[in-house]
């Protein structure tokens, strides 16, 4: 180790320089940058398939979760030449004129490099980088469930079961994960042949249908004044310009919580009892026991109904 605390390591054939490994990034848990890097290294086998071919947005916390943070889409200065970059139009920019060099987190050295930059949170869109097609075409849909206090994660689990059953009516297989903060997400694999507007429109119709069925507990409207005591079904996460926290990503909370895949029996039990988020150590143990509960999302799915 150098006098300034930097060390050089080899990761899967790539040489990286790591720094400040003892720096505490989660003060309430005394969880260090070294432990962040260790977590991302150990979770990589199940995380990397969910990052593959997706333009990556990072949220960086150079002074820990209690300090200032910033969103980063473009590749930062000093990006190693072996990191995969994709120059893409920014969805939603005027006539697609704004272009950025997005990082694609497709291998372990890239993941370790990002962790060393204190990129604690990893967020991806529902679409993959797809050759010469300029229009993002989602291969995932996501139903983001956001509770308005006093509603909480337990109520999100109750709504998630309704979402699961409603998706199944259309031949879609929903799978659940916690957000790592206060909410829950249900995702389903779709064809990758339809536009983001078509997929978002489908999820919006489901959200409005369920809100009309249970107006006292569910809302599909954006206005925050309508959310207290209800679960907001955020269908807009399917917009091509939006990203959602990736499964197995850390979150910037007092504890090093993780966006954690759940089985449906776990969701059912939580809906009738107590639901909670999981920490990095717990998620590593869960993967050892269950493998990747979201692996079916990687296999592709059907088109969504358009009427």
pLDDT digits (tens, 9 = 90+) for 25-46: 999 999 999 999 999 999 999 9
On whether both 146 and 292 belong to a single domain, the answer is: yes
pTM (global) more than 0.75: yes
On whether both 100 and 158 belong to a single domain, the answer is: no
pLDDT at 219 over 80: yes
On whether both 95 and 152 belong to a single domain, the answer is: no
On whether both 201 and 275 belong to a single domain, the answer is: yes
Tell me, yes or no, whether 191 lies in a domain: yes
Q: Do residues 243 and 103 touch, judged by C-beta distance below 8 A? A: no
- Ordered DSSP codes for 11-58: ETTEEEEE--TT-EEEGGGTEEHHHHHHHHHHHHHHHHHHHTT-EEEE
Counted domains in the chain? 2
CATH number of domain containing 264: 3.30.70.3300
Domain boundary among 98, 124, 150: 124
On whether both 147 and 120 belong to a single domain, the answer is: no
d(CA 27, CA 184): 25
Q: Do residues 156 and 181 touch, judged by C-beta distance below 8 A? A: no
CATH number of domain containing 86: 3.90.920.10
Beta-bridge mates of residue 9:
16
On whether both 106 and 165 belong to a single domain, the answer is: no
Cα-Cα-Cα-Cα torsion 89, 94, 95, 99, nearest 10 degrees, comes to: -20
Contacts of 131 (CB under 8 A, 6+ apart): none
Tell me, yes or no, whether 80 lies in a domain: yes
On whether both 90 and 187 belong to a single domain, the answer is: no
- What share of the chain has pLDDT > 90, as a percent? 88
Comparing 2 with 190, which gets the higher pLDDT?
190
Cα-Cα-Cα-Cα torsion 138, 145, 156, 255, nearest 10 degrees, comes to: 100
On whether both 65 and 159 belong to a single domain, the answer is: no
Q: Do residues 103 and 85 touch, judged by C-beta distance below 8 A? A: yes
Tell me, yes or no, whether 130 lies in a domain: no
Q: Do residues 155 and 231 touch, judged by C-beta distance below 8 A? A: yes
Range of the domain at 264: 140-299
pLDDT at 134 over 80: no
Tell me, yes or no, whether 65 lies in a domain: yes
* pLDDT-based confidence at residue 133 (cuts at 50, 70, 90): low
Domain boundary among 93, 124, 155: 124
What is the pLDDT at residue 96?
Answer: 52
What is the pLDDT at residue 274?
Answer: 87
d(CA 8, CA 91): 37
On whether both 114 and 145 belong to a single domain, the answer is: no
Nearest to 123 by CA among 244, 37, 36: 244
On whether both 104 and 188 belong to a single domain, the answer is: no
Tell me, yes or no, whether 307 lies in a domain: no
* pLDDT-based confidence at residue 276 (cuts at 50, 70, 90): very high
- What share of the chain has pLDDT > 70, as a percent? 95
Domain boundary among 124, 159, 182: 124
* pLDDT-based confidence at residue 224 (cuts at 50, 70, 90): confident
Structure tokens at 250: 């850390």
Other residues' Cβ atoms within 10 Å of the Cβ of residue 138 = 25
- Residue 228's φ and ψ, nearest 5 degrees, are -55, 130
């Amino acid at each position: 180790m150098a006098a300034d605390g930097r060390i050089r390591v080899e990761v899967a054939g790539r040489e990286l320089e790591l720094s400040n490994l003892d720096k505490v990034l989660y003060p309430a848990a005394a969880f260090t940058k070294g432990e962040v890097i260790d977590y991302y290294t150990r979770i990589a086998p199940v995380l990397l398939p969910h990052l593959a071919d997706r333009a990556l947005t990072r949220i960086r916390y150079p002074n820990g979760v209690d300090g200032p943070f910033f969103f980063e889409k473009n590749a930062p200065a000093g990006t190693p030449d072996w990191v995969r970059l994709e120059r893409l139009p920014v969805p939603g920019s005027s006539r697609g004129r704004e272009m950025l060099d997005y990082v694609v987190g497709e291998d372990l050295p890239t993941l370790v490099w990002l962790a060393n930059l204190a990129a604690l949170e990893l967020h991806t869109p529902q679409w993959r980088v797809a050759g010469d097609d300029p229009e993002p075409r989602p291969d995932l849909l996501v139903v983001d469930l956001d509770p308005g206090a006093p509603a909480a994660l337990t109520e999100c689990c109750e709504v998630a079961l309704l979402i699961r059953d409603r998706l199944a009516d259309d031949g879609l297989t929903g799978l659940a994960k916690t957000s790592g903060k206060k909410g829950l997400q249900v995702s389903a694999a779709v064809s990758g042949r339809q536009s983001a507007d078509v997929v978002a429109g489908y999820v919006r119709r489901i959200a409005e249908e369920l809100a009309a069925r249970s107006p006292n507990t569910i809302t599909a409207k954006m206005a925050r004044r309508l959310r207290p005591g209800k679960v907001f079904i955020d269908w807009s996460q399917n917009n091509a310009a939006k990203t959602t926290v990736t499964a197995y990503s850390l979150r910037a909370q007092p504890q090093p919580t993780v966006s954690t895949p759940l089985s449906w029996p776990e969701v059912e039990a939580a809906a009738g009892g107590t639901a909670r988020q999981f920490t990095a150590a717990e998620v590593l143990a869960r993967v050892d026991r269950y493998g990747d509960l979201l692996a079916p999302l990687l296999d592709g799915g059907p088109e969504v109904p358009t009427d």
